[in-house]
Structure 1
Amino acid sequence: MRAAVFDTYVPTQQGGIMHFDIVVPAGTAFELVSSWGANYLVSKGQEGQPLTSKECSFCHIEEASLAMEEAFKRQGYYIIEMEGCNLLKD
């Protein structure tokens, strides 16, 4: 299965930057990508932070791993955390 990777940099409420990839089945509409990214931000205590095409942009297509495919079936998307994603919730 082909997966689209969206490179995402979101400013945090604490003044830092969260860097993560949102991985979705290829061909997924950006509105869904943005919605799922917003859900992820809520799970990290960062609700209300901007998540537009400025913060989240298409990067490339790759072959989905088994973990990605399982996440697609379960929730529609897969997140790869890179930097600043393990913030403490207030």
Structure 2
Amino acid sequence: MECAVYDTYVTKKDGKIMHFDVVVQDGTPHEKAIEYGKKYLESVGQGGQKITQEECQFCHIQEAPPFVEKAIRQNGYWIQKMEGCPN
């Protein structure tokens, strides 16, 4: 599966930066990637933080590894945690 990767930087409630990628199937609208980013933020206690096209920017297209493809097929997206993300 070809997937689109959205590089995302969100300011957390404590003022620190959270960096993660929202990964969706190629062709998914940008607005949907932002919606998935909001869903992730809510799941980690950061709901309500600003996430727009400015914070969540298209980065590139790549082939999804099998575990990412499975998550996208099940949930519509995959979050690749980078810096400042809760475990």
Q: TM-score range by the shorter chain?
A: over 0.9
Moved over 3 A (4+): none
Aligned to 1:42: 42
The residue type paired with residue 32 of structure 1 is K
Aligned to 2:65: 65
Residue 7, structure 1, aligned to residue 7, structure 2: yes
The residue type paired with residue 40 of structure 2 is Y
Using the TM superposition, give the Cα deviation of residue 39 of structure 1 relative to its aligned residue in structure 2, in angstroms.
Answer: 0.4
In structure 1, distance between residues paired with 2:11 and 2:32? 20
Using the TM superposition, give the Cα deviation of residue 74 of structure 1 relative to its aligned residue in structure 2, in angstroms.
Answer: 1.1
SS at match of 2:82: strand
Aligned to 1:54: 54
SS at match of 1:83: coil
What is the TM-score of this pair, normalised by structure 2? 0.97
Identical residues among aligned pairs (%): 51
In structure 2, distance between residues paired with 1:31 and 1:75? 16
Residue 74, structure 1, aligned to residue 63, structure 2: no
Unmatched tracts of structure 1, length 5 or more: none
